[in-house]
Amino acid sequence: MGTLPYTTDVRPDTGLTNPKLGIWLFLASEVMLFGALFSSYVLLRIGALEWPDQSSVVSVPFGAFNTVVLIASSVTMVLAWASLASRLPGARRGDAQAQAAGLGRYRLFMGLTLLAGAIFLVVKAFEYSDKFSHHLYPSTNVFLGLYFTMTGLHALHVIIGMIVNAYLWGPGARMWRSEPERFTNRIEVAGIYWHFVDVVWIFLFPVLYLL
Amino acid sequence: MTHDVAVQVRKYLIVFAALLALTVITVGVSYLQLPRVETVTLALVIATAKASLVAMFFMHLKGERPMVMWPLSLTAFLFVAMLGFLLMSEADHLFGTKFGDAFQNIFD
Amino acid sequence: MPGLLRYIFSTDHKVIGLQYGFTSLFFLLVGFALVMLIRWQVAYPGQPIPLAGLLGEANAPGGVLLPEFYNQLGAMHGTIMVFLGIVPLAFGAFGNYLIPLQIGAPDMAFPRLNALSYWLYLAGGIVMLVSFGVPGGAANNGWTSYAPLSDIAPGHGQTLWLAGMLLIILSSLLGAMNFITTIVQLRAPGMTWFRLPFFVWAQFVTAFLLLLAFPPLQGAAVLQAMDRLASTSFFIPSGLVVGGQPLDVAGGGNALLWQHLFWFLGHPEVYVLILPALGIVAEVVANNTRKPLWGYRLIVYSLFVLGFLSFVVWAHHMFLTGMGTAISAFFQATTMIISIPSVIILSALILSLYGGSIRFTTPMLFALAFMPMFGIGGLTGLPLGLSATDIPLHDTNYVVAHFHYLVAPGTIFAMFAGIYYWFPKITGRMMNDTLGRIHFAGSLVSMNVIFMPMFVQGLAGVNRRLWDGGALYSHAQETLSLNVPMSYAALVLGVFQIFFVVNLVWSLRAGRVVDANPWEATTLEWSAAPTPPRAHGNFVTPPRVVRDPYEYSVPGAAAGFLPQAATDAESRT
Give the model confidence (pLDDT) of C437-494 as tens digits.
999 999 999 999 999 999 999 999 999 999 999 999 999 999 999 999 999 999 999 9
- DSSP 8-state secondary structure symbol assigned to residue C342: H
Reported as a pLDDT band with limits 50, 70 and 90, residue B5 is low
Q: Residue C239: which of B67, B85, B107 has the nearest Cβ?
A: B107
A5 touches B: beta carbon within 8 Å: no
pLDDT for C570:
78
> What part of C 228-247 touches A (C-beta under 8 Å)?
230-234, 238
Average pLDDT over residues C88-93: 97
Average pLDDT over residues C49-54: 88
User: Taking CA atoms, what residue in B is nearest to A93?
Assistant: B3
Tell me which chains share at least 3 CB pairs under 8 Å with chain B.
Answer: A, C
Nearest-angstrom CA–CA distance, B36 and B39: 5
User: Taking CA atoms, what residue in C is nearest to A34?
Assistant: C219
From the CB of residue C505, how many other CB atoms can be counted at a distance below 10 Å?
A: 10
> What part of B 30-89 touches C (C-beta under 8 Å)?
67, 71, 74-75, 78, 81-82, 85-86, 88-89
A1 touches B: beta carbon within 8 Å: no
Find the Cα–Cα–Cα–Cα dihedral C418, C419, C425, C431, rounded to 10°. -130
Asked if pLDDT for residue B4 goes beyond 90, the answer is no
Q: Residue B68: which of A21, A191, A211 has the nearest Cβ?
A: A21
Q: Residue A47: which of C178, C181, C254 has the nearest Cβ?
A: C254
- Closest listed residue to residue A157, CA positions, set A112, A129, A117, A184: A117
Contact C239 B100 (CB under 8 A): yes
Give the model confidence (pLDDT) of C508-558 as tens digits.
999 999 999 999 999 999 988 888 888 888 998 889 999 999 999 999 888
pLDDT for C73:
96
Query: What is the secondary structure of chain A as a DSSP string?
Result: -TT-TTSSSPBTTTTB-HHHHHHHHHHHHHHHHHHHHHHHHHHHHHH-S----HHHHS-HHHHHHHHHHHHHHHHHHHHHHHHHHTTSTTSTT-SHHHHHHHHHHHHHHHHHHHHHHHHHHHHHHHHHHHHHHTT--TTT-HHHHHHHHHHHHHHHHHHHHHHHHHHHHTGGGGHHHH-HHHHHHHHHHHHHHHHHHHHHHHHHHIIIII-
- Closest listed residue to residue C14, CA positions, set C538, C387, C530, C373: C538
Contact A34 C219 (CB under 8 A): yes
Q: Are C433 and C361 in contact (CB under 8 A)?
A: yes
pLDDT for B100:
45
Pairing state between β C245-246 and C241-242: antiparallel
| Closest approach of C212 to chain B, Cα-based (Å) | 7
Give the model confidence (pLDDT) of C328-345 as tens digits.
999 999 999 999 999 999
| Closest approach of A12 to chain B, Cα-based (Å) | 11
Reported as a pLDDT band with limits 50, 70 and 90, residue C571 is confident
> Which chain C residues contact residue B85 at CB under 8 A?
312, 314-315, 327, 330-331
Give the model confidence (pLDDT) of C226-272 as tens digits.
999 999 999 999 889 999 999 989 989 999 999 999 999 999 999 99
In the predicted model, what is the mean pLDDT of chain A? 93
Contact A211 B19 (CB under 8 A): no
In the predicted model, what is the mean pLDDT of chain B? 85
Task: Among C212, C223, C262, pick the best mutation site for testing chain B contact (most B Cβ within 10 A).
Answer: C212
| Closest approach of A18 to chain B, Cα-based (Å) | 11
Asked if pLDDT for residue B97 goes beyond 70, the answer is no
Task: Among C117, C162, C166, C185, pick the best mutation site for testing chain A contact (most A Cβ within 10 A).
Answer: C185
C315 touches B: beta carbon within 8 Å: yes
Give the model confidence (pLDDT) of B62-80 as tens digits.
989 999 999 999 999 999 9
Reported as a pLDDT band with limits 50, 70 and 90, residue B1 is very low
From the CB of residue C142, how many other CB atoms can be counted at a distance below 10 Å?
A: 17
Give the model confidence (pLDDT) of B12-62 as tens digits.
999 999 999 999 999 999 988 889 889 999 999 999 999 999 999 999 999
Cα of A128 vs its chain's centroid, Å? 20
pLDDT for B21:
97
> What part of A 87-126 touches B (C-beta under 8 Å)?
88, 90-92
Contact A146 C234 (CB under 8 A): yes
Instruction: Give the end-to-end CA distance of chain B in Å, rounded to a whole number.
Output: 69
C311 touches B: beta carbon within 8 Å: yes
Give the model confidence (pLDDT) of A53-103 as tens digits.
999 999 999 999 999 999 999 999 999 999 999 888 766 555 778 888 889
Contact C239 B106 (CB under 8 A): yes
User: Taking CA atoms, what residue in B is nearest to A79?
Assistant: B9
| Closest approach of C385 to chain B, Cα-based (Å) | 16
In the predicted model, what is the mean pLDDT of chain C? 94
Q: Are C219 and A33 in contact (CB under 8 A)?
A: yes
| Closest approach of C90 to chain B, Cα-based (Å) | 23
pLDDT for C559:
84
| Closest approach of C254 to chain B, Cα-based (Å) | 10
Q: What is the CA radius of gyration of chain B?
A: 21
pLDDT for C108:
96
Task: Among B80, B85, B97, B104, pick the best mutation site for testing chain C contact (most C Cβ within 10 A).
Answer: B85
pLDDT for B66:
93
One-letter-per-residue 3-state SS of C476-536: HHHHHCCHHHHHHHHHHHHHHHHHHHHHHHHHHHHCCECCCCCCCCCCHHHHCCCCCCCCC
pTM of the model: 0.95
Give the model confidence (pLDDT) of C155-189 as tens digits.
999 999 999 999 999 999 999 999 999 999 999 99
B92 touches C: beta carbon within 8 Å: yes
Q: Residue B54: which of A21, A91, A202 has the nearest Cβ?
A: A202
pLDDT for C79:
97
What type of residue is C25? L
Give the model confidence (pLDDT) of C181-233 as tens digits.
999 999 999 999 999 999 999 999 999 999 999 999 999 999 999 999 999 99
A125 touches C: beta carbon within 8 Å: no
Asked if pLDDT for residue B102 goes beyond 50, the answer is no
Bridge partners of residue C245, in order along the sequence: C242
Write the burial class of residue C44 (CB in 10 Å: 0-12 exposed, 13-18 middle, 19+ buried): middle
- DSSP 8-state secondary structure symbol assigned to residue C54: G
Asked if pLDDT for residue B2 goes beyond 80, the answer is no
How many contacts, defined by CB atoms under 8 Å, are there between B and C?
Answer: 54
Average pLDDT over residues B84-91: 91
Cα of C108 vs its chain's centroid, Å? 22
> What part of A 22-81 touches B (C-beta under 8 Å)?
24-25, 28, 31-32, 35-36, 38-39, 42-43, 46-47, 49, 55, 60, 64, 67-68, 71-72, 74-75, 77-79
Give the model confidence (pLDDT) of C392-433 as tens digits.
999 999 999 999 999 999 999 999 999 999 999 999 999 999
State residue C462 phi and psi, 5-degree precision: -75, 125
Nearest-angstrom CA–CA distance, B39 and B24: 15
From the CB of residue C495, how many other CB atoms can be counted at a distance below 10 Å?
A: 11
User: Taking CA atoms, what residue in B is nearest to C177?
Assistant: B71
Bridge partners of residue C513, in order along the sequence: C429
Reported as a pLDDT band with limits 50, 70 and 90, residue A136 is very high
- Closest listed residue to residue A19, CA positions, set A200, A181, A197: A181
Give the model confidence (pLDDT) of A189-211 as tens digits.
999 999 999 999 999 999 999 98
Contact B88 C239 (CB under 8 A): no
Q: Are C426 and C97 in contact (CB under 8 A)?
A: yes
> Which chain B residues contact residue C214 at CB under 8 A?
none
Q: Residue B67: which of C184, C246, C324 has the nearest Cβ?
A: C184
How many angstroms separate the Cα of A55 from the Cα of each of A61, A153, A207, B22? 10, 21, 10, 19
For chain A, what percent of residues have pLDDT higher than 70? 97
Cα of C439 vs its chain's centroid, Å? 20
What ipTM, to 2 d.p.? 0.95
Average pLDDT over residues C106-110: 95
- Closest listed residue to residue A73, CA positions, set A203, A190, A206, A209: A190
Q: Are C30 and C80 in contact (CB under 8 A)?
A: yes
Burial pattern C385-412, b for ≥16 Cβ within 10 A else e, equals bbbeebeebbebbbbbbbbbbbbbbbbb
- Closest listed residue to residue C330, CA positions, set A126, A14, B85: B85
Nearest-angstrom CA–CA distance, C212 and C356: 39
| Closest approach of B17 to chain C, Cα-based (Å) | 34
A42 touches C: beta carbon within 8 Å: no
Contact A43 C254 (CB under 8 A): yes
Nearest-angstrom CA–CA distance, C428 and C422: 10
For chain C, what percent of residues have pLDDT higher than 90? 87
C304 touches B: beta carbon within 8 Å: no
Nearest-angstrom CA–CA distance, C383 and C402: 10
